[in-house]
Amino acid sequence: MTTWRTLGVLAAALVASCSTPGPPNSLIFIDGRAVAASGDTLLAFTRQGTTEVTVRDRRSGAVYARGLNVLRSPRHIEERGGRWYVSDVDEGRATIAVFTPLWEFERWIPVDEYASAPHQFAVLPDARIVVEARDGRLVVVGPDSAETFALVEQSSRTGMVLGALGGVLHAVPDRAVTLYNERGNIRWRLPWPWHERAYVTDIAVDGQGRVHVLAGEETEAGQQSFVAFSLSPINGEVVRYSLEEGGSATFVVKRMGEVKRDSAARWLREPEG
């Protein structure tokens, strides 16, 4: 057994009576990457080695490819106000592509000058773009400059950024996970709860606004094992996690908040009949 169970803050029963019921299954990670949700209607995600965004209509099960002939190396996706924001890297330069609700390309937002790492950004409710800068700040990227959003802790590894709960979630490895409101003020901060052998691969927010973290570690047998965690929106503590251990990095969250491992293949195909 791995050392995941050493997390003293895990308490699956804590939210059993207060979870907001959602759809039967909501995909949150596929092959190690976060999935973006537009309410209970659409899911959007990228896959390694592809140049498009896969969009799945949850009502019909239809699967579409979007961003073709526009994107080069997409990864992180967020939806705000009906528009889709997709991180990309073209010729080594980090940028964000903006698409309309119908997935028509609208514009590019360059972030390479300010971002400490590609594919890490958050979209605020008013459509401002926040990235982690190289000098210990989160910054709002403007057309010609960047203004400070919040001062943050630094680590030897770059942090992960996600628009969540009306603000910005910032995960700094070996330091803390912090939720900022839309003005850059701290709503809560959780000291990094994962042990030194674990590494966080991505963070996601589902259609119900619940935040999830995907973490992995190498087992004694030299295999990779992944576990998905759900964080409390009130204080950030881990309140759910997937009970099964294994190498698959695809997870869903069920109606009452249970986190389960799933098959990537079934989300890539349309239902028969």
CA nearest to 110, candidates 92, 124, 125: 92
Here the tokens at position 82 are 């009906």
Q: Are 75 and 87 in contact (CB under 8 A)?
A: yes
Domain ranges within the chain, ordered by starting residue: 7-268
User: Looking at the domain covering 7-268, what would its CATH class be?
Assistant: mainly beta
Token pair 């939806």 is at which residue? 79
Q: Which amino acid is at 177?
A: V
Helix intervals (H) in the chain:
265-268
Spell out the per-residue pLDDT of the chain, length 273, in tens: 444 444 434 433 333 334 455 556 899 999 999 999 998 899 999 999 999 999 999 989 999 999 999 999 999 999 999 999 999 998 899 999 999 999 999 999 999 999 999 999 999 999 999 999 999 999 999 988 899 999 998 888 899 999 999 999 999 999 999 999 999 999 999 999 888 788 999 999 998 889 999 999 988 888 889 999 999 999 999 999 997 777 889 999 998 889 999 999 999 987 665
Q: How far apart are CA 1 and CA 6, in angstroms?
A: 11
Q: Residue 209 in contact with residue 234, Cβ under 8 Å? A: no
Query: Contact 263/216 with Cβ under 8 angstroms?
Result: no
How many residues in the chain? Answer: 273
Pairing between β-strand 211-218 and β-strand 224-231 as defined by DSSP bridges: antiparallel
Which is nearest to 201 in space by CA: 56, 80, 28, 44? 28
Global confidence as pTM:
0.90
Q: Coil, helix or strand for 5? A: helix
